[in-house]
Every structure is written in C-alpha cells, then in structure tokens.
Structure 1
Amino acid sequence: MSEHIRIYVADLAAYNAGHLHGVWIDASLELDDIQAQVDAILAVSPVEGAEEYAIHDFEGFDGYRLGEYEGLESAHEIACFIEEYPEFGGALLAHFNDLEHARKAAEEDYCGCHASLADYAQELTEETTSIPPHLAMYIDYRAMARDMEYGGDVFALETGFEQVHVFWNR
C-alpha cells in the first residue's frame, strides 16, 4: 500500500475554542500506543483541562469511510483489517459496512482476483465441467458471470484495472 492507514485526532476543547490542535496517528499501531498519542496531544492542549477528542479525518482506508462517531478501537480494528487484506479490505468493508461480515467474506468466501468476472466464470466452468472442444467457443462467459452476479451467487469488487475480486455470496 502506498500510504499509511492513519487518523487525525482533534482536541475538541481546542477545536471548540477556535484552535486547530490535533495529530495524525498510524491507526494500525497497538491500541495502547494510539491512546498514548491522544493523551499526549490533550496534555499539551492550548485549552486547560482538555479531555475530549474526535477523529476528524482519515487516510488510507481505501474506499471505506469511517463514521462520524467512530471510536479509536473501531478505527484500529478496521485499519488492521485493511492492512491484513490490502488488495481489497477497504472495498470489502465499504461493500458490507460491517467488519464482522467483511472478515467472514475475506476468510471463507474469497475466490481470488481475476481480470473480470467473466474470467472467473470461465475458470470455474473449465475446472468443474468437461467441455467438448468443438463447443468451447460457443460459451458466453460474460452472460454466465452476469447470471452468477444477478442471481446472487457471487459479488465482485473492482479495485483497479483488471483487478476484480470475487466472493461467494453466502
């Protein structure tokens, strides 16, 4: 991945007083290290007694948008998932909007990365069916792929040029 998965944590007391005071933090660090950096920024707040913070920005979540009230623990878990599955983690989270479902799909239902869904349909068909050579050129794999997707058997996430990640839809 070309950029770090990070969050911008703002000091709310300073923010409400008209000061921009916060820090960018690597969201994949250990949760205690993230909390320590938050505590450190609050300790040097331009407003006395600052205790509250909020995540005001984020980078590197690859298509997944952190919620307005996302906590540090949740942001950390999401960052770790994206770091674990850098090719499709953010897109899968954006698809489900739920970490538990995304993790299940990544671990149990992932069929691989293909140039297209039609390529996956062709690979699956050729691996599971004996096709007579004189009929092979008549098979419409794009139509098969469309039927697989529309029928709810699979879903595909396109993450780049000829990078289609296919998942069973169970």
Structure 2
Amino acid sequence: MRVYITDLEAYNNGHLVGEWYQLPMSEDLLAESIENVLNEGKEICEDEHFHEEYFIADYECEYMEIDEYANLTKHNEVAEAMEAMSEYEIKIIKFLLDNHIVSDIFEAIEQRDDVRVYEDQTMEDIAYDLIEECYNLDNIPSIISNNIDYKSIARDLEIEGSYYKFGSDIYEYIG
C-alpha cells in the first residue's frame, strides 16, 4: 500500500505539498513522515503557525479503497496485517469485500477464517466431497451410492446461500 500524504492547509492556499509513503512503517516513522509534510507546507506557505491537517491525495492499493481523510494509523495497521498474509488469505479478503459480505477491511481480516475456498471446482465436486466426508460410500450398497443425485445436491447447496462463485473458485462462507 502506498499513500500520497498532502498538507491540507498548503493545498487550500494553492500549493500541492506532499510525498509518497510505503505502508506499513513504524508508528514513529509514520508520525515523522506526516510531520515532515506538514512542516514543508508551513515553509512553502511562509506561515508562523504549525500546520495540523493532512489528507491522502492519492493511493495505490490492490485490496481496498482509501478515503482521502482516512486514519493513516489504522491503514498502517491494515498494511502490516496484509503484508503478513498469504496469497490465499488475501484472496479471501478480496472475496469478502467484493461480495459485500463484510462492511470494511477490518471486518474482513477478522472473518477470513470463516471462509473456505474450493479452487477450480464445481458445485457437483463439492456435493460429492460433502457426501464422501459425511458417509463412507464404500460402506453403502452400490445401488444407493450409484444413484445419488449430486447435481440436485449441488443445486440445493447453492440455494442455501453459503456458497459463492467468485472467479474460477467457489467460496463457502460459514460466518
């Protein structure tokens, strides 16, 4: 995640004063970075008083949108959490956000363990695996096991509402 932090008072006075920063960074470095931008704005505006307000003029982030007046400390924490995640977990976060299952990135991070991903499978594959998991098909007479309607079970699982097709995968949300 990269953010362009801009001095709001300098901007309102017709000066674009800002800098790109890569998140995550230490809290001290983040505070220092904001202070540097605000000091630069103060100097350009030739003000006596300290500039206090900043905004995010631009950003680069794959997994979420960032509001211009967002809390950078919280987004720094999100960037730190996302940096520690696997591609699989990030895929789940994107799924939760893009399908509006959660309201924000913080909720998505908390609920990522409530999602199971079936990569490159169909609902019929999932129905078969579910039946296999719940019942040992080797112990069921073949006249029964050969007549299980996986297509109908798959349709009923879809209707149930906890399975979502997203890209080439199927996601099960159990939250």
> Quick one: which amino acid aligns to residue 76 of structure 1?
N
Unpaired stretches in structure 2, ≥5 consecutive residues: none
Task: Mark the CA change 1:124 to 1:110 in structure 2 (over 3 Å): closer, same or farther.
Answer: same
Per the alignment, residue 52 of structure 2 pairs with 51
- Correspondence 1:69 to 2:80: no
Asked whether the equivalents of residues 10 and 53 of structure 1 are also in contact (C-alpha less than 8 Å), the reply is: yes
Per the alignment, residue 164 of structure 2 pairs with 156
CA deviation after TM superposition for structure 1 residue 113, in Å = 4.2
- Correspondence 1:60 to 2:61: yes
Identity %: 27
Unpaired stretches in structure 1, ≥5 consecutive residues: none
TM-score (norm 1): 0.72
CA deviation after TM superposition for structure 1 residue 20, in Å = 1.8
Asked whether the equivalents of residues 117 and 169 of structure 2 are also in contact (C-alpha less than 8 Å), the reply is: no
Residue 10 of structure 1 is aligned with which of 6, 10, 13? 6
Which of the pair has more CA radius of gyration? 2
> Quick one: which amino acid aligns to residue 11 of structure 1?
D
SS in 1 for 2:15: coil
- Across the aligned residues of Structure 1 and Structure 2, the Cα RMSD in angstroms comes to 2.8
- Correspondence 1:21 to 2:29: no
Tell me, in whole angstroms, the C-alpha distance in 1 between the residues paired with 2:165 and 2:56.
Answer: 28
Residue 32 of structure 1 is aligned with which of 6, 28, 35? 28
Task: Mark the CA change 1:80 to 1:56 in structure 2 (over 3 Å): closer, same or farther.
Answer: same
SS in 2 for 1:111: strand
The total of aligned residue pairs comes to 157
The structure where helix makes up a greater share of residues is 2
Tell me, in whole angstroms, the C-alpha distance in 1 between the residues paired with 2:111 and 2:132.
Answer: 24
